[in-house]
Amino acid sequence: MLGMLLHEHERQEILYLLKREMDEILFDLEDERIDHVVKRAMKERYHILFTIFKRVAPHYECLKYMQMKRKAEW
């Protein structure tokens, strides 16, 4: 287990980067041209990013991305 000390500004930057990446993955998952093997890897990446996101995001933000996560699991 690793620990980090972050300033509020750094935490906000991490939140922004994680949200942007997760939104991009969700957008790409809806593209029918992408192979199912690639989509599976994208879903795994989303899961990893979401677990990191849960550690630094407020509860209401997590709920929003949990709903999107369920949408990505089809």
Locus of tokens 């000390």: 5
Instruction: Give the integer Cα–Cα distance in Å for 68 and 57.
Output: 15
In a domain, 2, yes or no: no
pLDDT tens digits, residue range 23-58? 999 999 999 999 999 999 999 999 999 999 999 999
Number of domains in the chain: 1
Locus of tokens 């709920």: 63
Domain that holds residue 25: 8-72
Instruction: Give the integer Cα–Cα distance in Å for 38 and 66.
Output: 21
In a domain, 3, yes or no: no
Query: Measured in Å, how far apart are the chain's first and last C-alpha atoms?
Result: 32
In a domain, 1, yes or no: no
pTM here?
0.83
Q: How confident is the model at residue 10 (pLDDT cuts 50, 70, 90)?
A: very high
Locus of tokens 């969700």: 26
In a domain, 32, yes or no: yes
Nearest to 68 by CA among 16, 12, 26: 26
